[in-house]
Amino acid sequence: MTSSFPADGRAGIDAALVRRLIAAQFPQWSRLSVRPVEVDGWDNRTYRLGDTMTVRLPTAEHYVPAVAKENRWLPVLAPSLPVPVPPVLAQGRPGEGYPYDWSVRGWLDGDVARPERIADLPRFAESVAEFLLALWAVDPTGGPLAGAHSFYRGAPPAHYDEETRRALVALTGRIDTDRAAAVWDAAVRATWRGRPVWFHGDIATNNLLVRDGELAAVIDFGTSGVGDPACDLVIAWTMFTGDSREAFRRAVGQDRAAWARARGWALWKGLICLAQDIDTDAEQAAVHRRVIEEVLDDHDADSP
């Protein structure tokens, strides 16, 4: 990292930096407007470039491998998928005090998938399942095997065993850690024996775009790769409930072991986030508690 770039990468990225990078590396676009998107992510800062493009800049070094990975593989995946994914237009290089590779993509119309924007949530759940089934069916030959670039999505949940157990200790007396430990143990035991397939790695509301109440696009393949697709099932608890959850489960299929690993992925994230937010952010803590409780209840309902 260059000395002029702050340790908090998000603080070092703004529209002025984007304008300088575009002017220096893609002068043909230098007259276009640059403005932040309404809903931004954490791994990248994203800006509108004119009306038809976006610029995405990683906020830290460990997010940089996603740039080349997405640029290489999104054009391969796109033709097989039922809704659009971000079109790759260009790859930028370090410059203007910014130390990482970055990307220019085509803009996709749509709003993030809040339930109130969705016409029929069970039907939407089936559309998400259709997208996942299509993604998992793409030929994985040569694709990047799950690892550090995917933050170990697509690998066994046991990669996060130590982190999960630390969170359980930190939350002792504040949630039912005995039930949570049973869910985690089941996830670790549920060995994946399938063939490696493409996975997205972060199927979540902010990465699903809605237009006219329907699924319109899927974005942010930064944690994608080839491996176990169980991590793509987490949305069953983070977004869907009741009829929509059942519709998703029926449409997407998968065996009991896959669902056990999926509960592990959802529980891991819920636990570490709750441990972080429980005393500082009541609103977010309530969200994490809800996901954890629904995962625990789902595990109990699925137990023989």
What's the pLDDT score for residue 195?
Answer: 94
Residue 29 lies in a domain: yes
Segment 91-104 mean pLDDT: 96
Residue 1 lies in a domain: no
CB neighbour class for 290 (10 Å; exposed up to 12, middle 13-18, buried from 19): middle
Residue 79 pLDDT greater than 80, yes or no: yes
160 and 90 within one domain = no
CATH of residue 67's domain is: 3.30.200.20
Residue 221 lies in a domain: yes
133 and 25 within one domain = no
270 and 193 within one domain = yes
Looking at 48, 75, 106, the residue that finishes a domain is 106
Segment 84-103 mean pLDDT: 96
73 and 115 within one domain = no
Residue 63 pLDDT greater than 70, yes or no: yes
Number of domains in the chain: 2
Q: Quick one: what percent of the chain has pLDDT higher than 90?
A: 92
pLDDT in tens, 117-147: 999 999 999 999 999 999 999 999 999 999 9
Distance (Å, whole) CA 181 – CA 151? 22
Segment 141-154 mean pLDDT: 97
CATH of residue 292's domain is: 3.90.1200.10
> Who contacts 51 (Cβ-Cβ below 8 Å, separation ≥6)?
107
Residue 1 pLDDT greater than 60, yes or no: no
Both structure tokens of 11: 């603080």
236 and 101 within one domain = no
130 and 71 within one domain = no
Residue with token string 């809040």: 114
Per-residue pLDDT band for 38 (boundaries 50, 70, 90) equals confident
Looking at 91, 106, 121, the residue that finishes a domain is 106
Residue ranges making up the domain that contains 161: 111-302
124 and 262 within one domain = yes
What's the pLDDT score for residue 10?
Answer: 57
> Who contacts 72 (Cβ-Cβ below 8 Å, separation ≥6)?
none
Residue 2 lies in a domain: no
Residue 170 lies in a domain: yes
Mean pLDDT computed over every residue of the chain? 94
Residue 39 lies in a domain: yes
Per-residue pLDDT band for 303 (boundaries 50, 70, 90) equals confident
17 and 158 within one domain = no
| Cβ atoms of 139 and 169 closer than 8 Å | no
170 and 102 within one domain = no
Region at 151 (left for phi over 0; alpha for psi -120 to 50; beta for the rest): left
255 and 123 within one domain = yes
Segment 149-173 mean pLDDT: 97
127 and 87 within one domain = no
What's the pLDDT score for residue 39?
Answer: 73
Sheet arrangement for strand 208-211: 111-112, 208-211, 214-218
Per-residue pLDDT band for 263 (boundaries 50, 70, 90) equals very high
Per-residue pLDDT band for 11 (boundaries 50, 70, 90) equals low
Residue 4 lies in a domain: no
116 and 50 within one domain = no
Residue 3 lies in a domain: no
What's the pLDDT score for residue 6?
Answer: 60
Segment 5-9 mean pLDDT: 57
Per-residue pLDDT band for 302 (boundaries 50, 70, 90) equals confident
pTM over 0.75: yes
What's the pLDDT score for residue 293?
Answer: 97
Looking at 88, 106, 124, the residue that finishes a domain is 106
Segment 266-278 mean pLDDT: 97
pLDDT in tens, 41-59: 778 999 999 999 999 999 9
pLDDT in tens, 210-236: 999 999 999 999 999 999 999 999 999
Residue 76 pLDDT greater than 90, yes or no: yes
| Cβ atoms of 302 and 254 closer than 8 Å | no
Residue 2 pLDDT greater than 50, yes or no: no
